[in-house]
Amino acid sequence: MAYWDFVPEVGKIVSGYDAVCEDLQRNRIKLLVIAEDASPKTLNNIQFLAKRKKVPILVLGKIEENSKAIGKENRAVIGIKDKNISNGIKKICGGEAFGEN
């Protein structure tokens, strides 16, 4: 898929609910990618934290696809820490995916 045609450098992404929540609290996340098949509880909790920190969320792909793209297994939540990668994903997906015009 076009949105995961690259593998980000080490340290520029974080994956897994606990790790992403920790980096959200420390204002390190620029964009959240949440799998379409993430549990409703995970989605609600992450949305709450992201809204407080004003971090955009993109609900995209399936857990298996997104996990494979970053070389991990069973990751429903991915945090993008790099502003350039975040902007690139936003550009590929289009502003309307984030409620932007």
Q: Tens digits of per-residue pLDDT, 15-35?
A: 999 999 999 999 999 999 999
Residue 1 within any structural domain of the chain: no
Residue 3 within any structural domain of the chain: no
Residue 31 within any structural domain of the chain: yes
pTM of full prediction above 0.85 = no
Residue 90 within any structural domain of the chain: yes
CATH number of the domain bearing residue 70? 3.30.1330.30
CA–CA distance, 76 with 68 (Å, rounded to integer)? 11
Interval 37-72: pLDDT, tens: 999 999 999 999 999 999 999 998 999 999 998 889
Ramachandran area for residue 7 (φ above 0: left; ψ -120 to 50: alpha; else beta): beta
Residue 2 within any structural domain of the chain: no
Q: Structural domain of residue 24, as residue ranges?
A: 10-98
